[in-house]
Amino acid sequence: MTNKTVTTEWIRHLIRSGDTSPFYNTQAWAELREQKRKIEHYECERCRRKGRYSPANTIHHKKYLREAPELALDINNLECLCEKCHYDEHHKAENQKQLNEERW
């Protein structure tokens, strides 16, 4: 874990360089991630809204890091997700059902 001071400008630099992994290796991210997981009782928030239980193994930025680096460490921009919900979030286009079936 890096004890680097996390600033919006540093995150923007990482985004421009194409590698945001240094942000995800900071102490600040690790602490905030654990805080959010505790608040949500280590449960997937989306599954819970649907009346199901799934353990959350991912902390997701609601407004993506690349789109809103100023919200990188804003706990209100984070969501606890299970593996499936996180996958579904990042693969929305693949998961959409076709409106009509092509028949030739």
pTM, full prediction: 0.81
Let me know: does 49 contact 75? Beta carbons within 8 Å. Answer: no
- Residue listed under structure tokens 């969501």: 79
Each residue of 66-89: pLDDT tens digit? 999 999 999 999 999 999 999 999
Residue 76 CA to residue 1 CA, distance in Å, equals 23
Query: What does the pLDDT look like over 23-69, one tens digit per residue?
Result: 999 999 999 999 999 999 999 999 999 999 999 999 999 999 999 99
DSSP E strands, the chain: 58-61, 78-81
pLDDT at 91: 86
In a domain, 63, yes or no: yes
Of all residues in the chain, what percent carry a pLDDT higher than 70?
A: 85
Counted domains in the chain: 1
Separation between Cα atoms, residue 15 and residue 23, nearest integer Å: 10
- Whether the per-residue pLDDT at 102 is higher than 60: the answer is no
Domain interval for residue 78: 8-90
43 falls within a domain: yes
Q: Taking Cα atoms as reference points, which of 19, 104, 32 lies closest to residue 72?
A: 32
